[in-house]
Amino acid sequence: MIEALIDPLLAQLSPVVWGGALAVVSLGLSAVAIRRDRPLDWRFALPVEHPADGPPLFETVFDHRPAEGQAHSPAIAVKDDGFTLVWFEGSAEAQADVDIHHARFSRDAGGGWHHDTPAPLITRRALSACFEPRQAVITLGNTIQNEIAPDAFYATVVSVGGWAMASVADVRIDPDRRVPVRAHKLNLSPLLNRSHLVKSPMVAYADGSHGLPAYFEMKHGYSELVRLDAEGRVRDVRRIPEGRNAIQPMIVPLDERHAIAFLRNFGTGSRRLLVSETADGGRHWSAVHDSDLPNPDAPVAALALGGDRILMALNDDAQRSDLLRLLLSQDRGRSWRRIATLEDGGGDADRAVRYPMLRRLRDGSIVLAYSQRGKHGIRAHVFNDAWVNAQ
C-alpha cells in the first residue's frame, strides 16, 4: 500500500532530483573552470625601437625555385640563432601533393647568412599520423610560426574540400628529426570547425601571451583575432567587423591599446587596401574601411618599427601583382612614403610576387620573404634599420 503511494511520487520527483543533482555537479565544474581561468590581458607588448647605427645592410639570402610545381606563401619563424623559412610546395596550390617545406638560416663566421638545403618539414602523411585524433589530411596551405612554444607552427589544413573547408592546426615539431610529432585543430567555428585559415604573424601581448590573426573564407570572408591560453587552447575570438570581404589580417600594434589591421580586399569593390583599428587592445575593432593604398586582392606584410613608424611590403598597384614595394609611415599609417621598389615585372602576370611577410629577428635585422614568379619560387632579403633610413 505504502509502496503504491511512494512509487508514483518518486517517479514524479526523480527528474527534478536528478536535474538538481546535475545542476550541483555543474556548479562544481563551473567553480573549477572559473577558479582556473586567467583573465586575458588586453595590453599589446610595446614594439621595440631598434637603433639604426652601423652601415646600411641589404642582402638577398634566398632565391628558391622548385624544379617543378609551385612554392608559395612563405612564413618566417624567428629563432635564437637566426630564422627558418617555411612555405608550401607541390604541383599546384590546394592539390593533394602539397607539403610544407623549410630552410634554416644562420650566420656564418663572417657574419653573412647561409641556409641548409630546402626540405619537407610537415608532410600530409606525417601530420595525419600525429593528429589528435588521427584524421585525414588532403592538402596544406599557409603556415606561420606559433610563438607560444618553440618548434611550433600553425598550419592551414584541409581534410575535406578546398580552402573554404580549411582548419587551423597547432603543429609541434621534433627539432632534431624535423618532423611533426603532435597536432590538433583549433576550435574556431561551429560549422564543423571549417573555413578558418592563417596568414600573418602572431601579435604579442604585454603578459607574454599572443593573439593569432585568422580569417574565415567560406563565402563572404571576415577576419578575427584569436586569443589563446597558456596551453594553446582558444580562449576568446574577436571579430573585425565583417561586410567588406576583408581577409588575411596583418595586425600591427602601435602602443599598449592601439593597433591597426591591414586587410586584403577580397571583394570586387574599391581595389584599395582595407583597414580597421582598435583602441582597446583588440577587444573591439572599427568598421573596415578603405585606405589610400591600392590593393590587387593580395595580402600585405607590415612591421612596427617603434614610435609611430610602420614598414610595409605590398603590391603597390590596384591591378598588378608583379610590383612589390616597401613603404614607410611615420604617423601610424596615416600617410606613406614609398622607399624602395623590390620587384617590378613590367605588368607580366607570370612574374607575380605575392604573400610578403616581414619579421624582426633577435639581432634586430629585418627579414622580408615573398613568393615570386607567380607562386613558382620563394625569395628572401635581410636588411637593417640603417638601410630603411637610408632609402
Residue 231 binding other proteins, by CB under 8 A = yes
User: What SS3 state is found at 12?
Assistant: helix
Stretch in the footprint of other proteins (CB under 8 A) among 92-100, 239-247, 274-282, 327-335: 239-247
Query: Cβ(75)–Cβ(152) under 8 Å?
Result: no
Choice between 239 and 337, CB closer to other proteins: 239
Stretch in the footprint of other proteins (CB under 8 A) among 129-137, 207-215, 323-331, 354-362: 129-137
Member of 10, 160, 287, 349 binding other proteins (CB under 8 A): 160
Choice between 5 and 33, CB closer to other proteins: 33
Stretch in the footprint of other proteins (CB under 8 A) among 82-90, 133-141, 197-205, 306-314: 133-141
For β-strands 234-240 and 210-216, DSSP reports them as: unpaired
Residue 7 binding other proteins, by CB under 8 A = no
Residue 305 per-residue DSSP state? E
Member of 6, 10, 29, 96 binding other proteins (CB under 8 A): 29
The rounded distance, in Å, linking the Cα atoms of 362 and 343 is 27
Query: Cβ(146)–Cβ(152) under 8 Å?
Result: yes
User: What SS3 state is found at 24?
Assistant: helix
Stretch in the footprint of other proteins (CB under 8 A) among 22-30, 90-98, 197-205, 297-305: 22-30
Cell numbers at residue 31, please?
Answer: 567553480
Handedness of CA 367, 377, 247, 94 (dihedral sign): negative
Member of 6, 8, 20, 319 binding other proteins (CB under 8 A): 20
Residue 177 binding other proteins, by CB under 8 A = no
Residue 204 binding other proteins, by CB under 8 A = no
Shortest reach from residue 6's CB to other proteins, in Å:
18
The rounded distance, in Å, linking the Cα atoms of 342 and 104 is 23
Query: Cβ(268)–Cβ(220) under 8 Å?
Result: no
